[in-house]
Amino acid sequence: MISLLAAAAAQGFDVEAATRAYLDTLHGAARARSDAFFEGGYWLTLWAALVGVLVHWAMLRFGWSATWSDRANRMTRRRWLQPAVYSVPFTIVGALLALPWTIYSGFVREKQYDLMNLSFAGWLSEQAISLVVAIIVTAIVFAIIFAVIRNAPRTWWLWGTGATAILLVLGIMIAPVFIAPLFNEYKPMAAGPLRDEILAMAHKEDIPADNVYVFDQSKQTDRISANVSGLGPTVRISLNDNLLNRATTAGVKAVMGHEMGHYVLGHLARLVAYNSLLVLVIVFLLWWWSPRILRRFGERWGVRDVADPAVAPLFAIFVVVFGLLATPLVTTISRTVEAEADAFGLDVAREPDGFAAISMLLSEYRKIEPTELEEVVFYDHPSGRARVKMAMEWKARHLNELPPDQRVIVRPPPLKQD
């Protein structure tokens, strides 16, 4: 690789200069706003965890959880159904208690940084849809998990992990077909050269898709987005209208190559495996510590044992705290697979400048040049700097394979400034 880069330098292509040419297009107020937005997100991670702990602690401390469990027992004698009944007030009250925080972090702050296109009424409507989905999903999950706990009191940590992994796979399979359309309208992409190129890339990589879908995310935000989602019969290639409207053809191809990389490289399966291992640790700790905590506080809270759905807030606190502590591990796993998809996308789309331009668009709301510690702890994708440099290094290695007009250092126009 070093010799290839040296050869590129001999031909007048300087990777560092090319990288800096892109990075310098984000400057002034726009860069300050991007940095401030992303750095503020570091604190949001902590405050969100604190809100989650306080909300679920209140359910235990004031006896609400025990009351909901008792009511569920009176409403039905079917033990398998009782946790599902319990989950309804658990989900609704949890959402309402956290609503002030959700409004600030999900709407007010997004508006402050000009990243939200919905009105408050429109945003609240989507939150209501999310709540209905959460009620249904939580009811199903609680019915299954507490059935496992009742029937395997000594090994439920193992069977519970297996059940969670299956639920994750089912969620990945049904989300593109049943969940995503609740928030956006998906339409087949108009016929044309770009659609044909995307499908040609997909077919070359044996992705079983015969259509490309465009969804109307511009009604919610100006962020660009795309994905290859689903499993088996639900596999779908999708991109949002912002990507079509804001990016060049080269940029669109670069993004789609990246997303196809996730599918071809088996990232969904790997992420399910990684998440299942994390779940295994969490559930084992719950299995080990919960009975000991309940022996001390269970009577005060009105929680009988770990098979009582009233224990759910305690489980939730464990998950929130563990999730906060595991943040560097989780972000590193995600950042690693994203970097692999970046490399795959460059090889498939062969559009290094398109990829670099897209990285700059993403940096409108992601700090572009973080410290090494920031990137390790908080970045679930490579930073803009890392992505642009990867693209320029790829360009240097393949310089002789590119058309003559693409072998020079591109001087991109500056991004939108205030």
pLDDT tens, 34-51?
999 999 999 999 999 999
Query: Is residue 297 a part of any domain in this protein?
Result: yes
Q: For residue range 247-265, what is the model confidence (pLDDT) as tens digits? A: 999 999 999 999 999 999 9
Quote the distance between the C-alpha of residue 221 and its chain's center.
16
* Mean confidence (pLDDT) of the chain: 93
pLDDT exceeds 70 at position 417: no
The answer to whether 254 and 351 are in contact (CB under 8 A) is yes
Q: How confident is the model at residue 232 (pLDDT cuts 50, 70, 90)?
A: confident
Percent of the chain exceeding pLDDT 90 equals 89
The answer to whether 237 and 213 are in contact (CB under 8 A) is yes
Query: Is residue 411 a part of any domain in this protein?
Result: no
pLDDT exceeds 50 at position 10: no
Residue 388 CA to residue 102 CA, distance in Å, equals: 33
- Model confidence pTM above 0.75: yes
Query: Is residue 293 a part of any domain in this protein?
Result: yes
Q: For residue range 185-197, what is the model confidence (pLDDT) as tens digits? A: 999 999 999 999 9
Domain that holds residue 296: 52-100+108-183+268-329
Query: Is residue 231 a part of any domain in this protein?
Result: no
- Start-end of H helices in 98-155: 99-103, 109-112, 120-151
Query: Is residue 238 a part of any domain in this protein?
Result: no
The domain total for the chain is 1
Query: Is residue 403 a part of any domain in this protein?
Result: no
Number of H helices, E strands in the chain: 18, 4
pLDDT exceeds 60 at position 9: no
> What pLDDT score does 210 carry?
86
pLDDT exceeds 50 at position 385: yes
> What pLDDT score does 408 carry?
73
